[in-house]
Amino acid sequence: MSDSQRSISRVILFIATIFWPIIVPIAYIELLNLHMKYKKEIDLLIGQTDARTTDEEF
């Protein structure tokens, strides 16, 4: 790699290191909100999957 590519890589690595602790909790909060919004549908789908597995075992 050339010197300019190395410096760009360092800058990107620095920026990613700074923003990582900020972005991950925000993404997790969005995931929790999505789960809470569609909780009934998710539980219904999980129940259907469990029923199918139980039926196939017998």
Per-residue pLDDT of the chain (58 residues), as tens digits, is 899 999 999 999 999 999 999 999 999 999 999 999 999 988 888 888 766 666 565 5
Confidence at residue 49, expressed as pLDDT on a 0 to 100 scale: 74
Confidence at residue 23, expressed as pLDDT on a 0 to 100 scale: 94
State how far the Cα of 47 lies from the Cα of 37, in Å rounded to an integer. 18
Coil, strand or helix: which one is 2?
coil
Tally: H helices and E strands in the chain: 2, 0
Please name the amino acid found at residue 1.
Answer: M
List b or e across 27-46, with b for residues whose CB sees 16 or more CB atoms inside 10 angstroms.
eeeeeeeeeeeeeeeeeeee
